[in-house]
């Protein structure tokens, strides 16, 4: 059996049942395929469902998987042991993940205790690290301009400011036009519909800065040219998830409002394709 | 009157290796490694340092007032010290501040420190998102991840040409990083892998794939600045800071992707800096450009912005290899930011790496032909730019 | 002096906000050795400077004044020491480790030249004084932090 870093691919899969933490994955239902190439490699199928684990070495084609991992044996073992940086291996195409990447980043680390090479526990230098999530409650004053904007949302209205000098119409509104360095005193109602100037379809599951929870993906962020504003101004907002795979630049969108509006960002749910 | 009261040179440079993991050092220890390296490079001791400027990007390590407890490693004990934190531009802003502190006559020798331990920031993207406008964009932003630039590049040049140029550009950066012993990500990519990488690198946002995006790195960069007379006494190879410019725009990052795009802060900075220094053809003038390229798509577009090019000139430069380490204008011989990104140190490392090229001390990634004129850029926040011009010789003419 | 005119504040209000950030912290080699020794052997370690002979607790890799390398000269200091100074915390906050009132003290351990900050319990906050002799009381459960010493308590002779 080919050895890498003092252990083997086989050993990592064989110790999965004893490292499994069912209590952490009660609500999880995933199938992970591992296609480990090179000496000591093979194909494994790891299924986690309702707190039960099944690990199986297979021949032939993979069945339908939530995620399929393809890696060389050395990369796989090194990555498991932390000797090889998986992010780097992934970016360099040496550790490929097809499918839902959050299975790898969130579910697997919770589901299994760390794999350790037998007899190696004491030799490794222990370096202390502490992990925590900093959570700070805050309060922000809107001021008269953003206050007007949020109160507008409550009434299903978009208020922009108009520069008395260059005439540009800013959204969200701003107290001054920074280009002309003059106060923008005049509010104008714009929208509610808009043209999609650019789009971001996000696959990367980042933490929500308000909760620390991982955002569910994919989601789309829109860059909008709101009707009635100048074309150099842009409002960014979310897209209705139902339109994720249909949205194209140049399309027209309309706002969808929350039933219960409280003069906050949640008053506006998202924009959706106006067809 | 000139822009400066007196001339300022870089006389010492110290960098840690940039890597994803530095569990064996806490923050002051990591900084101390680079501080000692810079002092050694300048052949100075702590006694020679008059003032320290220290900075990183706020929020990432979630520690308050790091300039105070980092005194354990910075050497600022009993000395004047300033803390600067301007997001991604931090490292370059520290350079500007150190340049100003020396040029003004306030201090003769100033040590500038930029650092970051992004591994300690559990999530760089969460950190960046939290820095957005708390009332609006904090709810919407996904850190610095965007495909908007890629979408526009594809619109302008067609998907095939744009994607191909981007991946070629990325592989070129990796080739540079691979020969830079301090670079974090050194994949050893070959141009033949372009096809495969374009398809298999995991997508992050739209056209932006993992391979296109910068790393999350740990590391520190330290530079020592001295006034002309001292600089000549300290160093046989001082690198002169000819000029710098810092440009901020409105905080609405979304406006950069509006239906009609405003002039970028990069373009504004380059336009003004080159005009006041009489540089009419930057591609011809500069011998090295170290650019803060947070992603390949941004980096590729910004070649056009910084070098005041038009049309597809920047894409052609990529396609023709003009930006390779042996090309007409070598871009990021260090491997740039897609290879190493310890954010608070990143923008300073651009200036440091350009200065090392001018000194001829870059190491294995030294440009072969003579390097006399250097350009380095910082990028941060909602489109902020710092641009620094370096000279090997103190022989330029002031243009007013 | 320019006087700004009074604003119309009818649209001004306060919105709740929140910031959540996952972070980690690495103690480094010297810091790890300090914590591991506390946790596993209940011994408090410092480093002795070969230049000035001072014993630093907690340990540090380099001296901040002259960058002398320190972390090759480990010394064990006592689990007992003296209150070098103190403050009594009189207000409650969810971020604080104990309910008010409690004593936060600088404790100079026997054999150390620098004091460490920690909690002193087991004495009325009214009665604590500089010079009080105290002893480390180790925590039952490890957190891999300085709170592996739960608190310092007055030595009862």
List chain C residues with CB under 8 Å of A130. 24-25, 27, 143-145
Q: Chain C residues with CB inside 8 Å of A131's CB? A: 22-24
pLDDT in tens, chain B (400 residues): 356 789 999 999 999 999 988 889 999 999 999 999 999 999 999 999 999 999 999 888 877 788 888 999 999 999 999 999 998 999 999 999 999 999 999 999 999 999 999 888 767 888 888 778 888 888 888 888 899 999 999 999 999 999 999 999 999 999 999 999 999 999 999 999 999 999 888 899 999 999 999 988 999 999 999 999 999 999 999 999 999 999 998 766 778 888 998 899 999 999 999 999 999 999 999 999 999 999 999 999 999 999 999 999 999 999 999 999 999 999 999 999 999 999 999 999 999 999 999 999 999 999 999 999 999 999 987 789 999 999 999 988 877 6
In a domain, C4, yes or no: no
- Report which of residues A207 and A44 the model is more confident about: A44
CATH assignment at residue A22: 3.30.1050.10
Residue-range definition of the domain harbouring residue A220: 143-273
Residue C144 is assigned to a structural domain of this protein: yes
For residue C18, being part of any structural domain is answered with no
Q: Which of A129, A133, A264 sits opposite C22 (nearest CB)?
A: A133
Which residues contact residue A168 at a Cβ distance below 8 angstroms, ignoring those fewer than 6 apart? A162, A177, A179, A230, A232, A233
Instruction: Note whether ipTM > 0.95 here.
Output: no
Asked if the C-beta of C65 comes within 8 angstroms of chain B's C-beta atoms, the answer is yes
Residue A147 has its nearest CB partner, among C13, C16, C145, at C13
Q: Is residue A120 a part of any domain in this protein?
A: no
DSSP string, C9-22: -TT--EEEEEEEEE
* A164 and A217, same domain (yes or no): yes
Chain centroid to CA A139: 26
* Residues of B whose CB is below 8 A from C67: 32, 35-36, 46, 75
Residue A2 lies in a domain: no
pLDDT score, position A215: 82
Q: What is the pLDDT of residue B1?
A: 39
Could you say which of A69, A95, A111 is where a domain stops?
A: A111
Chain A: give the shortest CA distance to residue C5, in Å: 13
Nearest to B111 by CA among B175, B195, B171, B31: B31
C16: contact with B, CB 8 A cutoff:
no
Domain count, chain C: 1
pLDDT at position A211, please?
A: 74
Residue A119: predicted pLDDT: 61
Q: Is C68 a member of any domain?
A: yes
Residue A195: pLDDT band with limits 50, 70, 90? very high
On the 0-12 / 13-18 / 19+ scale of CB atoms within 10 A, B365 is: buried
Let me know: does C77 contact C92? Beta carbons within 8 Å. Answer: no
With cut-offs at 50, 70 and 90, classify the pLDDT of residue A121: low
Write the DSSP string, B143-171: TT---HHHHHHHHHH-HHHHHHHHHHHHH
Residue with tokens 């390949």: B296
The yes/no answer on whether domain B8-123+215-234 falls in CATH 3.40.50.1820 is: no
**Which of A66, A94, A111 delimits the end of a domain?**
A111
CA distance, residue A76 to nearest chain C CA (Å): 25
pLDDT at B359: 98
pLDDT < 50 stretches in chain C? none
In a domain, A170, yes or no: yes
Chain A: closest CA distance from residue B104 (Å): 29
How many structural domains does chain A have?
2
What secondary structure letter does DSSP report for A190?
A: E
The string of DSSP codes covering B93-134 is HHHHHHHHHHHTTS-SEEEEEEEEETTTBS-HHHHHHHTS-T
Residue A74 maps to a domain: yes
φ/ψ of residue B11, rounded to 5: -120, -5
Q: What predicted TM-score, i.e. pTM, was given to this entire model?
A: 0.88
E strand residue ranges, chain A: 29-37, 42-49, 52-58, 67-72, 95-99, 129-141, 158-162, 169-170, 176-177, 182-183, 186-190, 194-202, 219-226, 235-238, 252-257, 268-273
Pick from B56, B72, B128, B143 the residue to mutate for testing the C interface (most C CBs within 10 Å): B72
Does the CB of C13 have a partner CB in chain B at under 8 Å? Answer: no
Written as six digits, the tokens of A180 are 């002309």
- A43, A148: one domain: no
A147, A269: one domain? yes
Q: Which domain holds residue C125?
A: 28-154
Q: Work out the angle at residue A241's Cα, subtended by the Cα atoms of residues A237 and A247, and round it to the nearest 5 degrees.
A: 75
Interface size B-C, in CB pairs within 8 Å, comes to: 76
**Is the residue at C23 inside a domain?**
no
In a domain, A14, yes or no: yes
Q: A181 pLDDT band (50/70/90 cuts)?
A: very high
In a domain, C52, yes or no: yes
Give chains near C: 3+ CB pairs under 8 A.
A, B
Answer yes or no: do A106 and A149 share one domain.
no
In a domain, A209, yes or no: yes
* Whether residue A160 is found in the same domain as residue A261: yes
CB B73 within 8 A of CB B328: no
Is residue C80 included in any domain, yes or no? yes
Per-residue pLDDT tens over the stretch A53-66:
999 998 888 888 88
Q: Report yes or no on C47 lying in a domain.
A: yes
> How far A93 CA sits from the closest chain B CA (Å)?
6
* Cα B7–chain centre separation: 22
CB contact under 8 A, B185 and A91: yes
**Which residue in chain B is spatially nearest to C60 when comparing CA positions?**
B72
Asked whether residue A88 falls in the same domain as residue A196, the answer is: no
Residue A197 maps to a domain: yes
- Smallest CA–CA separation between B327 and chain A, in Å? 25
């Amino acid at each position: 059996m080919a050895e890498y870093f003092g252990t083997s691919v086989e050993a990592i899969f064989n110790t999965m049942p004893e490292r499994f933490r069912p209590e952490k994955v009660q609500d999880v239902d995933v199938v992970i395929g591992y296609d480990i190439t090179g000496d000591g490699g093979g194909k494994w199928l790891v299924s986690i469902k309702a707190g039960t684990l099944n690990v199986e070495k297979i021949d032939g084609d993979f069945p339908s998987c939530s995620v399929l991992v393809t890696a060389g044996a050395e990369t796989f073992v090194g990555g498991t042991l932390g000797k090889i940086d998986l992010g780097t291996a992934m970016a360099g195409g040496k550790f490929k993940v097809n499918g839902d990447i959050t299975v790898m980043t969130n579910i697997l680390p919770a589901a299994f205790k760390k794999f350790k090479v037998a007899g190696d526990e004491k030799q490794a230098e222990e370096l202390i690290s502490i992990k925590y999530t900093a959570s700070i409650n805050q309060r922000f004053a809107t001021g008269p301009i953003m206050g007007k904007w949020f109160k507008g949302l409550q009434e299903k209205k978009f208020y922009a400011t108009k520069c008395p000098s260059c005439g540009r119409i800013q959204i969200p509104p701003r107290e001054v036009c920074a280009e002309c360095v003059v106060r923008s005193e005049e509010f104008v109602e714009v929208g509610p519909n808009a043209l999609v100037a650019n789009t971001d379809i996000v696959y990367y599951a980042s933490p929500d800065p308000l909760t620390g929870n991982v955002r569910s993906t994919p989601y789309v962020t829109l860059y909008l040219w709101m009707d009635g504003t100048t074309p150099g101004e842009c409002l960014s907002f979310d897209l209705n998830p139902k339109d994720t795979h249909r949205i194209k630049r140049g399309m027209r969108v309309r706002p969808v409002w929350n039933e219960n509006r409280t003069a906050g960002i949640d008053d506006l749910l998202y924009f959706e394709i106006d067809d | 009157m000139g822009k400066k009261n007196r001339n300022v040179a870089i006389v010492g440079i110290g960098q840690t290796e940039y890597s994803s993991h530095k569990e064996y050092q806490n923050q002051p220890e990591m900084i101390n490694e680079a501080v000692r390296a810079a002092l050694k490079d300048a052949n100075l001791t702590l006694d020679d340092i008059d003032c320290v400027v220290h900075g990183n990007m706020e929020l990432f390590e979630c520690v308050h007032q790091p300039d105070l407890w980092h005194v354990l490693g910075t050497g600022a004990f009993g000395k004047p010290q300033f803390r600067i934190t301007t997001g991604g531009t931090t490292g370059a802003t520290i350079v500007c501040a150190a340049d100003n502190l020396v040029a003004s006559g306030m201090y003769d020798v100033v040590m500038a420190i930029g650092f970051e331990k992004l591994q300690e920031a559990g999530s760089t993207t969460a950190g960046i998102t939290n820095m957005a406008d708390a009332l609006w964009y904090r709810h919407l932003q996904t850190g610095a991840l965007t495909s908007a630039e890629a979408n526009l590049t594809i619109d302008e040049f067609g998907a095939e040409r744009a994607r191909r140029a981007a991946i070629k550009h990325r592989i070129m950066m990796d080739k540079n990083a691979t020969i830079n012993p301090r670079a974090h990500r050194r994949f050893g990519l070959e141009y033949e892998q372009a096809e495969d990488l374009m398809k298999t690198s995991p997508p992050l946002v739209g056209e932006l794939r993992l391979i296109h995006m910068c790393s999350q790195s740990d590391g520190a960069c330290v530079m020592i600045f001295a006034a002309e007379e001292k600089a000549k006494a300290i160093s046989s190879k001082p690198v002169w800071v000819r000029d710098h410019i810092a440009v901020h725009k409105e905080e609405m990052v979304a406006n950069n992707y509006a239906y009609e795009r405003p002039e970028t802060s990069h373009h504004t900075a380059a336009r003004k800096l080159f005009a006041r220094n009489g540089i009419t053809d930057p591609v011809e003038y500069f011998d090295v450009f170290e650019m803060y390229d947070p992603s390949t798509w941004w980096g590729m577009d910004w070649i056009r912005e910084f070098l005041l090019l038009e049309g597809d000139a920047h894409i052609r430069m990529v396609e023709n290899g003009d930006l390779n380490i042996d090309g007409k204008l070598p871009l990021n011989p260090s491997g740039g930011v897609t290879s190493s990104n310890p954010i608070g140190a990143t923008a300073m490392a651009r200036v440091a790496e350009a200065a090392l090229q001018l000194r001829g001390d870059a190491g294995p990634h030294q440009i072969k032909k003579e390097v006399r004129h250097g350009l380095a850029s910082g990028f941060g926040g909602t489109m902020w730019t710092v641009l620094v011009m370096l000279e090997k010789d103190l022989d330029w003419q002031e243009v007013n | 002096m320019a006087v700004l005119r009074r604003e119309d504040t009818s649209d001004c209000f306060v919105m709740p906000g929140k910031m959540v950030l996952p972070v980690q912290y690495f103690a480094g080699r010297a810091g790890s050795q300090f914590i591991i020794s506390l946790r596993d052997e209940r011994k408090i370690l410092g480093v002795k400077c070969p230049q000035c002979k001072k014993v630093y607790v907690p340990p540090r890799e380099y001296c901040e004044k002259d960058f002398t390398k320190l972390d090759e000269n480990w010394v064990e200091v006592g689990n007992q020491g003296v209150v070098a100074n103190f403050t009594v915390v009189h207000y409650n906050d969810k971020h604080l480790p104990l309910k008010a009132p409690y004593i936060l003290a600088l404790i100079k351990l026997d054999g150390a030249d620098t004091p460490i900050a920690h909690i002193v319990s087991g004495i009325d906050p009214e009665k604590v004084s500089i010079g009080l002799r105290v002893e480390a009381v180790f925590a039952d459960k490890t957190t891999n932090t300085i709170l592996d010493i739960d608190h310092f308590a007055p030595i009862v002779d």
